[in-house]
């Protein structure tokens, strides 16, 4: 066969294929053409806005696709990050974590601590310019608590309001605890005096939504008309979302006029290095690189604590963790200080107690059971499992079945060396993991808790009160329960703090949990940002960020 | 043939019924459920139980399935649990388009290059060029996609700053020269995933083409054609080309299906908003509605591509009369 003929054949084949596939592509391209169009309008939008200078006042952030932008349904931090910018409620938390009025301008609390009267600001407005009325607030809370909405979180945050539980479970069609006294005044009545109630109201469950929009447009959540400092300007599923300042917000123009969250695109750190993002969060694997003074990332690196704690939990009804000595022995057998220094290069913070920094009642002194192999062995010897009957122990953590977390590996090794315990690690994907914990079938597991408001009630009462349905350790101590109940309604700040601190130290001694690490954020921030604000929990943050002029 | 196609297509619903029921059953039978996942860290078991009840997740599985089937047959795949406020279809359709674009682009690259390489191999059979081509393509196919993606990202995006690290910007960008001449240029986001998708595909096509060209050249009818005194070019065009194409046509459809199936890892790594990365998320968060809808899409793609391959066979080779028993 001659080469001319062969190339003829090949050309023919190639031609046919290119024509066939090209034709098909052309059809698909025409159908999917809008994707291209929206890209080009976006570029135009960048330069066309007249009064708000979005082009130079833009912040490019890594983002996650929000699960929902409905403030009454949100449960995850990544959705929450958008929601706290777009919506707002009667009260909010400022950068110092103080509770301050937001839509309300003044708050009066009755002397018995049961009745809260909020007067709304006159300049509290929705993004479309409409003034927020007391009726908006009442309707929003009713919606959040309505049985039809099926919110998993409303009850936790609003159950203190008189009538919310009955309303949520459909036992009552009236919500007595929230009323509009007049156009500008809302009155909320709670079931007992709770000093943390206002803190709970900063959570999105109590945010204000626009009734007329929700009732007229079933897709309202894609362009919510709300009361926060930023409005959702664009949201392209899976690609980007853009927040722009609301010209009707009472704060006036913040430094960041426009925040572009890229929802896709792989590693944020790599995109930061490629100047596609102004900010990127650094995972533990990349920290060494960012902290190395010779690295190009070094000068951009910032470190801030976050208000969360990770811990090992025991199911105290399952052997061998029904024995307090075993739990204490395991806590004393692990050397978290050295693991933090050696394994993690000092980049994670050993927990000094259950309450993370920033929470009322936190102290710097280390209250945890100290690393002490001798004492751990003594403690172990006191247990009923010391000589015989030690059942097999399985430690459950989330993961994809690869090697265990670095800290887990270190703990397993130390338990083996100090106590002679052989502990098996079982990894489960997140959904299966939750299933194991919820069904109380795990013996011990590693997990964390992020504070939703900086009050000890948010962690001690919810997770460790003996009667809380969310206490998966099933640990219950009448002394601790009593302390937590007293603290719940104690209006004296100093007494309350003392009660929580006592409960915390009793809990550490009884060891249903071993507190491990306090959370921290490692972030690189580009030179375009003069002042970065990294809140320790989900808070409205864009208004606090300053861009360079 | 039309009858055959109709008959094959009419089996599609039955197949989908079996597949969707199996998926439906398996996802609900395994641990975890969407309510548990969307609850996050605040998880009052009583509240979750009440919501499960209200969502109908406590009903017997066959009743849930019949309900799903009723809605699905009207085109209603429900709301995605991890993109609330959007129907499953609204979440999936733009992603389907992204995955489809990448898949088609990969075919456009794989086939011409694969065919060319295979043709060269056949042409230079016996010389050093033949095994070199096959070996180097085999080598390219042996590199895991994960590695290809990482290396390309490091080199072209981080070190050379030529390409974006990930994400998606459409297929082709149109550049206007002086506002008159439109020049289509591939979007910079497409190079890395395209390379990862195609590297493994060349060798299959090339080897198939090489083998068929050689085989067809040895067949009796080609010998007969030559013996009839037909010119070599006519022999190659009429007999060798037509018959060498035959097995290839069946591979086109399967390749596309394979690329779409294989997109899960590459899309997840590169942050490409296609259905592969979404399936990964949907399974992780037990988004029942999204998993069901994606199952329908994946299975239907496979079944239809299979049918296309069969029909293409009979179009190319008149000896194969699909569905007509003689």
Question: Which DSSP string corresponds to A28-65?
Answer: HHHHTHHHHHHHHHHHHHHHH-SSS-TTTSEEEEE---
E strand or H helix at A445, and its extent? strand A444-450
| Cβ distance of A169 and B50 shorter than 8 Å | yes
Mutation target vs A (from B28, B46, B85; most A CBs, 10 A cutoff)? B85
Picking from A13, A265, A470, the nearest residue to B167 by CB comes out as A265
Cβ neighbour number for residue A148 with a 10 Å cutoff: 8
Dihedral (Cα; B276, B281, B286, B287), 10-degree rounding: -70
Query: Model confidence over A395-441: pLDDT tens digits?
Result: 999 986 667 788 899 999 999 999 999 999 999 988 899 999 999 99
Q: Using a CB–CB cutoff of 8 Å, tell me whether B308 touches chain A.
A: no
Distance, in Å, from the CA atom of A391 to the CA atom of A318, rounded to the nearest integer, reads 10
| CB atoms B36 and A266 under 8 Å | no
The total of other beta-carbon atoms located within 10 Å of residue A169's CB is: 14
B13: CB partners within 8 A, 6+ apart: none
* Spatial CB neighbours of B154, under 8 Å, sequence gap ≥ 6: none
Single out the residue of B306, B310, B305, B309 nearest to residue B324, CA to CA. B310
Q: Token pair for residue B79? A: 């709301």
Chain A contact present for B294, CB below 8 A: no
CA distance B123 to A9: 11
B51 chain-A contacts, CB cut-off 8 A: 150, 152
User: What mean pLDDT do residues B127-150 have?
Assistant: 86
CA angle A399, A403, A406 (to 5 degrees): 90
CB A230 within 8 A of CB A133: no
B273 touches chain A (CB under 8 A): yes
pLDDT greater than 50 at residue B326: no
Burial B62-74 (b: 16+ CB within 10 A, else e): eebbeebeeebee
Report the relative pairing of strands A301-314 and A444-450 from DSSP bridges: antiparallel
Q: Give the Cα separation of B255 and B205 in Å (integer).
A: 10
Q: Give the residues across from A525 on adjacent strands.
A: A279
Separation CA A400–CA A430 (nearest Å): 9
Residues in A touching B84 (Cβ below 8 Å): 67-68, 70, 73, 221
Question: What 3-state class would DSSP assign to A219?
Answer: coil
Q: Do A470 and B97 touch (CB under 8 A)?
A: no
Task: Test A237 with B91 for CB contact under 8 angstroms.
Answer: yes
Of B246, B280, B254, whose CA–CA distance to B266 is shortest?
Answer: B280
10 Å CB burial of residue A320 (0-12, 13-18, 19+) is: buried
- Indicate whether A197 pLDDT > 60: yes
Query: Distance (Å, rounded) from C-alpha B126 to C-alpha A228?
Result: 74
Tell me the chain B residues in contact with residue A438 when contact means C-beta distances shorter than 8 Å: 36, 43, 45, 48
Tell me which chain B residue has its CA closest to the CA of residue A76.
B40
Distance CA(B134)–CA(B214), nearest Å, equals 15
Q: Between chains, do B284 and A429 touch, taking CB under 8 Å as contact?
A: yes
Cα dist from A313 to A107, A446, A509, A510, whole Å: 40, 6, 14, 12
Distance (Å) from the alpha carbon of B61 to chain A's nearest alpha carbon? 19
Q: Chain B closest CA to A296's CA: distance in Å?
A: 12
CB atoms under 10 Å from CB of A244, counted, come to 22
Tokens representing residue A376 in the block: 């751990």
Question: Nearest by CB to B51, which of A25, A69, A150?
Answer: A150
For residues A161 and A179, what is the distance between their CA atoms, to the nearest angstrom?
A: 11
> A548 by DSSP, 3-state: which?
coil
Count interface pairs A-B at CB distance under 8 A: 221
B83 touches chain A (CB under 8 A): yes
pLDDT level of residue A208 (50, 70, 90 thresholds): very high
Top residue of A17, A60, A232 to mutate, by most chain B CBs within 10 Å, is A17
A72-76, A352-356, A374-378, B248-252: segment of lowest average pLDDT: B248-252
Find, among B234, B212, B192, B193, the residue nearest to B114 by Cα.
B212
- Among the listed residues A538, A196, A402, A165, the one whose alpha carbon sits nearest the alpha carbon of residue B41: A538
* Pairing outcome for strands A444-450 and A393-398: parallel
Contact residues, chain B, for A28 at CB < 8 Å: 97, 100-101, 104
CA B240 to chain centre: 29
pLDDT bracket for residue A41 (50, 70, 90):
very low
Q: How does residue A7 score in pLDDT terms, banded at 50, 70 and 90?
A: low
**Closest residue by Cα to residue B218 from B185, B240, B192, B238:** B240
Q: Which residues of B touch A430 (CB under 8 A)?
A: 32, 37, 284-285
Question: Residue B154 gets which letter from DSSP?
Answer: I
Q: How is residue B65 written in tokens?
A: 């399935």
Distance, CA of A486 to CA of A491 (rounded, Å): 10
Q: What are the chain B neighbours of A22 within 8 Å (beta carbons)?
A: 108
A15 → chain B, closest CA residue: B112
- Do residues A425 and A289 make contact, with C-beta atoms less than 8 angstroms apart? no
pLDDT digits (tens, 9 = 90+) for A132-157: 999 999 999 999 999 999 999 999 99
B 216-245 residues inside an 8 A Cβ radius of A? 217, 232-233, 236-237, 240-241, 244-245
How confident is the model over A498-547, as pLDDT tens digits?
Answer: 999 999 999 999 999 999 999 988 999 999 999 999 999 999 999 999 99
CA torsion through residues A458, A459, A463, A466, sign: negative
Residues of A in contact with B241 (CB under 8 A): 9, 12-13
Highest mean pLDDT among A240-249, A470-479, B231-240, B245-254: A470-479
Rounded-to-integer distance, Cα B217 and Cα A176, Å: 89
* DSSP code of residue A356: P
Please report, rounded to a whole number, the percentage of residues in chain A having pLDDT higher than 90.
Answer: 70
For residue A44, the model assigns a pLDDT of: 34
Which among A479, A485, A472 has a CA at the least distance from the CA of A507? A479
For chain A, the first-to-last Cα distance in angstroms comes to: 71
- Interface contact B82, partner A, CB < 8 A: yes
pLDDT score recorded for residue B123: 77
Predicted TM-score of the model (pTM): 0.80
Contacts B158 to A, Cβ<8 Å: 270, 273-274
> What is the pLDDT at residue A54?
57
Kindly state the tokens that stand for A175. Answer: 């919500």
CB atoms within 10 A of CB A394: 14
| Residue B316's pLDDT band (cuts 50, 70, 90) | low
| Nearest CA among A41, A103, A95 for reference residue A251 | A103
The whole-number pLDDT of residue A49 equals 38
pLDDT digits (tens, 9 = 90+) for A91-120: 999 999 999 999 999 999 999 999 999 999
Instruction: Give the torsion through C-alpha atoms of A125, A126, A129, A130, to 10 deg.
Output: -80
Identify the residue whose tokens are 């169009």.
A37
Please state, in angstroms and as integers, the Cα–Cα distance from residue A511 to each residue in A308, A314, A329, following that order. 18, 8, 10
Q: Which two tokens stand for residue A255?
A: 């430094």
What number is the average pLDDT over the span A297-311?
Answer: 90
Whether A1 has a pLDDT exceeding 70, the answer reads no
| Count, residues in chain A | 549
| Percent of chain A residues topping a pLDDT of 70 | 89
Closest CA to A315 of A511, A507, A467: A511
Length of chain B: 326
DSSP for A503-533? HHHHHHHH-SEEEEEEEEEEEEE-TTEEE--
Q: Which of A22, A67, A153 is facing B42, going by the closest CB pair?
A: A153
Could you tell me which of A88, A523, A130, A478 has the C-alpha nearest to residue A347? A523
ipTM: 0.80
Distance CA A221, CA A228 (A): 14
Mutant choice from B47, B246, B255, B291 vs A, greatest count of A C-beta within 10 A: B47
B 3-42 near A (Cβ less than 8 A)? 30-33, 35-42
Mean pLDDT computed over every residue of chain A: 88
Of A21, A169, A431, the CB nearest to B108: A21
d(CA B148, CA B136): 15
A414-426: pLDDT as tens digits: 999 999 999 999 9
Q: How far apart are CA A233 and CA A230, in angstroms?
A: 9
Q: Which is higher by pLDDT, A10 or B316?
A: B316
A96-112: burial string, b at 16+ Cβ within 10 Å, e else: ebebebbbbeebeeeee
Residue A382 parent element (H or E): helix A373-382
The nearest CA of chain A is from the CA of B109 a distance in Å of 9
Q: Which of A90, A69, A117 is nearest to A201 (CA)?
A: A90
pLDDT mean over A256-261: 94
How far is A309 from A303, CA to CA, in rounded Å?
16
pLDDT value at B319 more than 80: no
- SS3 call for A365: coil
């Amino acid at each position: 066969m001659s080469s001319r003929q062969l190339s003829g054949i090949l050309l023919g084949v190639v031609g046919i294929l290119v024509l066939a596939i090209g034709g098909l592509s052309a059809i698909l391209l025409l159908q999917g053409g809008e994707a291209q169009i929206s890209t080009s309008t976006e570029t135009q939008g960048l330069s066309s806005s007249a009064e708000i200078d979005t082009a130079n006042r833009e912040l490019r952030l890594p983002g996650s696709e929000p699960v929902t932008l409905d403030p009454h349904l949100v449960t995850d931090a990544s959705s929450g990050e958008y929601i706290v910018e777009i919506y707002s409620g009667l009260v909010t938390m400022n950068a110092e974590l103080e509770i301050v009025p937001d839509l309300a301008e003044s708050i009066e609390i009755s002397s018995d601590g049961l009745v809260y009267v909020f007067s709304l600001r006159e300049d509290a407005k929705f993004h479309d310019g409409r003034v927020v009325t007391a009726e908006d607030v009442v309707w929003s809370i009713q919606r959040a608590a309505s049985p039809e909405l099926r919110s998993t979180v409303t009850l936790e945050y609003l159950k203190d309001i008189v009538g919310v539980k009955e309303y949520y479970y459909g036992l009552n069609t009236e919500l007595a605890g929230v009323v509009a006294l007049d156009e500008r005044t809302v009155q909320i009545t709670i079931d007992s005096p709770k000093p943390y109630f206002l803190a709970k109201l900063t959570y999105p469950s109590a945010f204000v939504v626009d009734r007329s929009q929700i009732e007229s447009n079933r897709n309202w959540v894609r362009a919510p008309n709300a009361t926060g400092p930023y409005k959702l300007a664009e949201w392209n599923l899976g690609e980007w979302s853009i927040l722009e300042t609301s010209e009707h917000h009472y704060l006036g123009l913040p430094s960041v006029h426009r925040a572009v969250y890229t929802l896709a695109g792989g590693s944020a750190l790599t995109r930061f290095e490629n100047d596609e993002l102004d900010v990127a969060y650094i995972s533990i694997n990349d920290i060494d690189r960012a902290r190395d003074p010779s690295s190009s990332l070094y000068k951009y690196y910032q470190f801030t604590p976050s208000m969360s704690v990770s811990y090992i939990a025991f199911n105290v009804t399952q052997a061998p963790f029904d024995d307090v000595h075993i739990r204490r022995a395991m806590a004393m057998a692990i050397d978290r200080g050295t693991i933090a220094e050696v394994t993690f290069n000092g980049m994670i913070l050993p927990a000094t107690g259950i309450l993370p920094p920033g929470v009322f009642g936190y102290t710097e002194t280390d209250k945890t059971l100290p690393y002490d192999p001798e004492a751990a062995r003594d403690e172990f010897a006191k247990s009923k499992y010391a000589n015989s009957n030690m059942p097999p122990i399985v430690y459950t953590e989330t993961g994809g079945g690869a090697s265990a977390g670095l800290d887990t590996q270190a703990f397993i090794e130390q338990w083996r060396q100090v106590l002679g315990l052989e502990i098996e690690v079982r990894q489960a994907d997140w959904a299966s993991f939750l299933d194991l914990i919820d069904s109380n079938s795990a013996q011990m597991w590693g997990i964390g808790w992020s504070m939703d408001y900086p009050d000890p009630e948010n962690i001690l009462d919810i997770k460790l009160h003996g009667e809380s349905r969310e206490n998966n350790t099933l640990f219950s101590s009448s002394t601790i329960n009593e302390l937590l109940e007293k603290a719940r309604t104690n209006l004296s700040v100093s007494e309350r703090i003392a009660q929580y601190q006592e409960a915390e130290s009793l809990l550490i001694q009884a060891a249903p949990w071993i507190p491990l690490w306090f959370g921290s954020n490692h972030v690189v921030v580009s030179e375009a940002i003069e002042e970065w604000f990294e809140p320790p929990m989900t808070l409205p943050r864009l208004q606090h960020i300053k861009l360079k002029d | 043939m039309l009858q055959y196609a109709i008959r094959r297509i009419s089996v599609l619903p039955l197949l989908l019924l079996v597949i969707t029921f199996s998926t439906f059953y398996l996802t609900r039978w395994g641990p975890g459920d969407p309510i548990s996942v969307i609850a996050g860290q605040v998880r009052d078991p009583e509240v979750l139980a009440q919501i499960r009840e209200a969502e109908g997740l406590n009903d017997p599985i066959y009743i849930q399935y019949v309900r799903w089937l009723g809605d699905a047959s009207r085109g209603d795949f429900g709301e995605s649990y991890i993109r609330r406020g959007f129907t499953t279809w609204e979440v999936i359709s733009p992603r389907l388009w992204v995955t489809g674009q990448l898949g088609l682009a990969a075919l456009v690259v794989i086939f011409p290059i694969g065919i060319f390489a295979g043709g060269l191999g056949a042409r230079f059979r016996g010389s050093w060029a033949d095994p070199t081509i096959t070996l180097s393509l085999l080598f390219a196919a042996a590199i895991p996609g994960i590695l290809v993606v990482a290396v390309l990202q490091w080199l072209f995006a981080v070190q050379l700053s030529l390409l974006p690290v990930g994400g998606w910007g459409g297929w082709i960008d149109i550049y206007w020269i002086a506002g008159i001449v439109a020049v289509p240029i591939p979007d910079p986001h497409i190079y890395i995933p395209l390379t990862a998708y195609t590297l493994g595909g060349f060798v299959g096509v090339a080897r198939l083409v090489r083998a068929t060209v050689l085989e067809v050249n040895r067949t009796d009818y080609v010998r007969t054609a030559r013996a009839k005194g037909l010119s070599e070019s006519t022999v190659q065009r009429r007999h060798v080309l037509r018959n060498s194409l035959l097995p290839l046509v069946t591979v086109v459809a399967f390749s596309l299906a394979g690329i779409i199936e294989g997109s899960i890892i590459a899309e997840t790594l590169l942050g490409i908003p296609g259905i592969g990365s979404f399936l990964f998320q949907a399974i992780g968060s037990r988004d029942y509605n999204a998993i069901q809808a994606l199952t329908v899409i994946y299975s239907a793609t496979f079944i239809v591509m299979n049918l296309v391959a069969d029909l293409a066979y009979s179009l190319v080779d008149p000896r194969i009369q699909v569905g007509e028993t003689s």
